[in-house]
Structure 1
Amino acid sequence: MRIAMISPLWGPAYPTGSGIYAYELAKRMAEQGHEVHAFTSQIGNFNGMLLPKNLHLRVLRTYSMLWDMNPIANVLPILLREDFDVVHVHSYIFYMSNSTAAARLLKDFRYVLNFHGGISHSAIQDSCSRRLWIKDNVYDRTLGRATVALADKVLSVSKADIPLIRRAFGVDAQYIPNAVSIEDFKPGEKGAQRITYVGKLEKWKGVETLLEIFRQVRHEIRDAEFQIIGDGSLADKMRKADLPIIMRGHIPHENMPAQYRDSAVSVLPSFMEGAPTTCMESLACGVPCVATRVGDTPEIVKDGHSGFLVEPGDVSESASHIVELMENDSLRRRMGAEGREHMVNHYSYEAVVERMLKAYEET
């Protein structure tokens, strides 16, 4: 099968949940003998990237980055010029998704569109509401609706988003879950016992809440250390905080397992998620997670078993659970072991790739 895998941000170059998912699918399909052409923007670091024989990475000229999240790169001419059995696009909100839909309007191919969250945002802070109002009331009703309507099959990594996709766009999405590379992300020798956040440094990720959580934890545990992996518009604010925060910026994805293993707890205070990759990677490494009850996070982090769930914006409850885990080694080990088992049993890429190829054939 000749497959075009379109991801505006490519996992190993610029780690995001959807980009990592696209990369892992493309790599594993290529290893099975399929001819996979991955199209992405120039955003990120592509140096020293090793790819399997049948995976062809094609980095497109990128003209700008809209709202610090949407690379403007045009895949339309290539899709009109070349033939693919399946064109699989990750997320509906990107310019590359729109140009794929335009190509489908002009040419017959199997167009598969994958949602990666961003539909449910009822808990979002008012400070993020302007962009979301534009998305909901302008983009989703015009270009977004057309991008979804032209798809031959719509997929979602989040169960929670399926009724919302139906309500917003009038289509039935098929659930194929997010996944984690359990061969790479696994428990190992522990190093420093830090409290770790992985993700974009933006308001909708709850980063301002994160600072308050860190302050409360520091009040209870004076020698607590924190690390932040990622970048974004609030990076300077985090750097200037009067807290012992190690700011890592972006780290190559192959180095991430070691970062989780150097953590006692991971934390995700988001106001909006689909099926968060960072929680899955943390649990696969045997590190319990304290996260907000949004999107499919409750499917991933089992409250009281592999971590704790809190309501978005709840600083005191989040800090209390982190302190509890930091001070109780046996609880932390038990939750880490349960989290690892849950990832192995339900979120391996082996099962997801099999389901994805079947979805292609049924399109």
Structure 2
Amino acid sequence: MKVIMIGSHLRTTGGITRVVKNYFQAGLNKKVDLEYLPTYFGSNHFVNIFYFFTKLIGLYIKLYFLNKRYDVAHIHMSYKGSFIRKKYIINLLKNKKIPIILHMHGSQFKEFYDQSADKKKSDISNTLNKVSIILALGTEWKEYYETICQTKVVSLDNAVFPKKLDSDDSNNRIYITTMGILSNRKGTYDLIEVANKLKGTIDPKFKFLLAGDGEIEKVRKKINELGLNDLFIVPGWISNEDKIQEIYQKSVIYILPSYNEGMPMSILEAMSFGLPIISTKVGSIPSVIINNENGFLVEPGDIQNLGNAVEQLLKDEQMIERMGNNNINKIKEQYNIHESIENIVKIYSQL
């Protein structure tokens, strides 16, 4: 079975890249004849445009001059520029009658659609209706996409590798960690406010570790203004897998107070390392995190309850251990990358 998968260049950061890398690492390319076509380079605007059109022209030549055939196309899409790029590609593939799987990742796709003019909304819906099947990150997103298109939508959760964890001294776990883009949307500044409220009430050995790109200097400046430098570590973006693993192993809590999300890969990764999760009731997160079972959920912007959840966990090692074990089992049973790629191959075969 010949499959073309289309997404971002694997040099870029973000959820799509992590998903694709996991697919390759789990051996999807050994189960099908898989060709990967990156269409976004992750550089400046003009480089990205040039890069995309070279890839688009190359695909056009393959399809229309070299008569290259694919049994299935698997497209990863977000919103805004990602939608525009993938719309052109969908049209090329549709004209060649190639079945298309559209794998939706955009945490802000609803806002992108709702804030568009009527003509743009129609264009979005028409594009979604050209594909064979839409993969949505959880039932919440599945139900949403079904309101704006007629294409069959299937819920497919993100997935990660279960980890073989060594028993570790809990005294070495000192980080309250978040990873990703540092921004208002991710609730980064809410975390700073939480730390400000908790200063002096929690053991000073615990540190908030904010790893990621985005508004790094702005975040550091805010921390400095509030006199919280002793509570924070802001290392910037970390790409080294060994270093990422080391951070998770030294973390006691994973916290992601986002204002919108799909199904965050960072939450699943943290769960696989046996961490309790504190997050918000957005996207598909409530289908993954159950209050008092494997973490705590609060409303976006609820700094008081965010702080309460952090404080409650740090004072209850048994709760941390119980929630961590629940998350390890949940990854093995429900969000296991090996099971996920088997489901994807089945979808390929059905198409």
TM-score range, shorter chain: 0.7 to 0.9
Task: Structure 1 unaligned segments of length 5 or more: list them.
Answer: 45-60, 122-128
From 69, 75, 92, the counterpart of 1:83: 69
Contact 1:229 1:251 in 2 (8 A): yes
Q: Does 1:229 align with 2:218?
A: no
Shift of 1:272: 0.7
From 96, 100, 115, the counterpart of 1:107: 96
Task: Structure 2 unaligned segments of length 5 or more: list them.
Answer: 63-67
AA of the residue aligned to 1:246: I
From 353, 356, 360, the counterpart of 2:348: 360
Shift of 1:62: 7.6
Contact 2:133 2:151 in 1 (8 A): no
Q: 1:64 to 1:319 in 2, by over 3 A?
A: farther
Q: Does 1:7 align with 2:10?
A: no
Deviations 1:267-316 (A, max 9, x none): 11011111111111111101111000111112211210111111111101
From 211, 218, 225, the counterpart of 2:199: 218
Q: 1:211 to 1:143 in 2, by over 3 A?
A: farther
Deviations 1:321-353 (A, max 9, x none): 111111221211111111111111111011111
Distance in 1 separating the partners of 2:89 and 2:240: 27
1:117-132 → structure 2 map (5 Å cutoff): 117-118=106-107
Distance in 1 separating the partners of 2:199 and 2:85: 43
Q: 1:137 to 1:209 in 2, by over 3 A?
A: farther
Q: 1:140 to 1:199 in 2, by over 3 A?
A: farther
Shift of 1:157: 1.8
1:169-318 → structure 2 map (5 Å cutoff): 169-183=149-163, 186=165, 189=168, 191-221=172-202, 223=204, 224-232=206-214, 234-240=215-221, 241-242=223-224, 243-244=228-229, 245-252=232-239, 254-255=241-242, 256-318=244-306
Distance in 1 separating the partners of 2:149 and 2:167: 44
AA of the residue aligned to 2:273: C
Q: 1:257 to 1:328 in 2, by over 3 A?
A: same
Which one has the bigger helix percentage?
A: 2
Deviations 1:27-79 (A, max 9, x none): 434453422222223338xxxxxxxxxxxxxxxx983469xxxx962332233
Shift of 1:148: 1.3
Contact 1:88 1:111 in 2 (8 A): yes
Deviations 1:196-233 (A, max 9, x none): 1111122222222222122223242261311111111x
Q: 1:27 to 1:86 in 2, by over 3 A?
A: farther
Distance in 2 separating the partners of 1:323 and 1:349: 33
| Aligned twin of 2:148 | 168
Shift of 1:142: 4.5
Identity score, percent: 22
Distance in 2 separating the partners of 1:91 and 1:139: 20
From 19, 24, 37, the counterpart of 2:17: 19
Distance in 2 separating the partners of 1:325 and 1:284: 18
TM-score (norm 2): 0.85
Distance in 2 separating the partners of 1:105 and 1:149: 11
Q: 1:226 to 1:349 in 2, by over 3 A?
A: same
Q: 1:169 to 1:72 in 2, by over 3 A?
A: farther
| Aligned twin of 1:124 | none
AA of the residue aligned to 1:112: I
Question: What is the CA RMSD across the aligned residues, in angstroms?
Answer: 2.6
Distance in 2 separating the partners of 1:194 and 1:328: 16
Distance in 2 separating the partners of 1:312 and 1:214: 16
Contact 1:188 1:261 in 2 (8 A): no
AA of the residue aligned to 1:226: F
- Regions of 4+ moved over 6 Å: none
Q: 1:301 to 1:140 in 2, by over 3 A?
A: farther
Q: 1:229 to 1:154 in 2, by over 3 A?
A: same
Q: What's the secondary structure of 2:121's corresponding residue? A: coil
